[in-house]
Amino acid sequence: MNVNAARRPGPAARAIGAFVVAVALLAPAAAAAPQAAATERHGGEASLKLPDLGRENFVGINGRTLLQSGLAVCVLGLLFALVIYRQLKSLPVHLSMRDISDLIYETCKTYLVTQGKFILLLEVFIGTIIVIYFGVLQHFEPIKVGIILAFSLIGIAGSYGVAWFGIRVNTFANSRCAFASLRGRP
């Protein structure tokens, strides 16, 4: 038996180790960066100064009205998705088709859970970089760094939720459309 093969760390442990080594090697260089470069804050979305949306107009529409209209469209999209989900779930389906659909969904769910764990591990790395870049190098206040981290997580959670919803709706729709087509309905 090969003793060395049994002691090798897994891919996640190797990735974490490589990340720690990279941070340890780059930290002194980051600390030695000129202070003037950190205070100028060139570019980047986090450094943008937002105008008062109530005083700005875009194509003749008040900025605040435009933003609120966009949020209303998002809420309407969410309601539409929930209505479609309920309608699909209530459609008739053959038992064997439902079983196949559920099997496909469970397989996809296993994939999504595994993918979610990977994304969370990736977010730990990204979060560390965000804290180092904005908190240490750019000298942002902790609350601003926290907001950047929070919206990073919100964005990832939104994408993850859309993927989960899409797979669930797709498996519902496939089994129910197949059942409807067997009865001669398009």
pLDDT, residue 36, reads 44
Mean pLDDT of 120-139: 93
Same domain assignment for residues 109 and 82: no
Looking at residue 14, its pLDDT comes to 72
Domain boundary among 90, 117, 145: 90
**Above 60 in pLDDT, residue 43?**
no
Q: Can you give the residue range of the structural domain that contains 79?
A: 55-90
Q: What is the dihedral of CA 166, 168, 171, 172, to 10 degrees?
A: -110
Contacts (Cβ under 8 Å, ≥6 apart) of 68: none
82 versus 19: the higher-pLDDT residue is 82
- Considering the domain architecture, whether residues 75 and 124 belong to the same structural domain is answered as no
- pLDDT value at residue 6: 57
Question: How far is 32 from 37, CA to CA, in rounded Å?
Answer: 11
Shared domain for 176 and 99, answered yes or no, is yes
Looking at the fold, whether 102 and 176 belong to one and the same domain comes out as yes
Q: What is the DSSP code (8-state) at residue 33?
A: S
Q: What is the band of 54 on the pLDDT scale with cuts at 50, 70, 90?
A: confident
| 117 & 158 share domain | yes
Q: For residues 157 and 118, state if they share a domain.
A: yes
Task: Looking at the structure, tell me whether residues 127 and 84 fall in a common domain.
Answer: no
Assess whether pLDDT exceeds 80 at residue 53: yes
Asked whether residue 59 falls in the same domain as residue 115, the answer is: no
